[in-house]
Structure 1
Amino acid sequence: MPRVNTVGRLYAVVLLAFFAGIPMACAELPALVAVPSPHPLLVSRSEITFDQWQACVSDRACKGGQDDHNWGRGARPVINVSWADARAYAKWLSAKTGHACRLPTEAEWERAAAGGAATAYWWGDGHGSGMANCRDCNGEPIYGSRPAGSFPPNPYGLLDMNGNVWEWTDDCWTAGACGQRVIKGGSWYYYSANATVRARARNDAGQGSYNIGIRVVCEP
Structure 2
Amino acid sequence: MDSKKYCYEYPRPSVTTDCVIFGFDGVDLNILLIERGIEPYKGKWAFPGGFVQMDESAEEGAKRELSEETGIKDVFIEQLYTFSDVNRDPRGRVISIAFFALVKTSDYQLLAGDDAIKAQWFKIKDIPALAFDHDLILRIAQNRIKGKIRYQPIGFELLDKKFTMPQLQLLYESILDVKFDRRNFSNKMMKTGLLTQLNEKMENVPHRAPRYLMFDKKKYNELQSSGFNFEI
TM-score norm. by structure 2 comes to 0.27
Higher helix share: 2
Rg comparison, structure with higher value: 2
Higher strand share: 2
TM-score norm. by structure 1 comes to 0.28
Larger RCO of the pair (alpha carbons < 8 Å, separation 6+) = 1
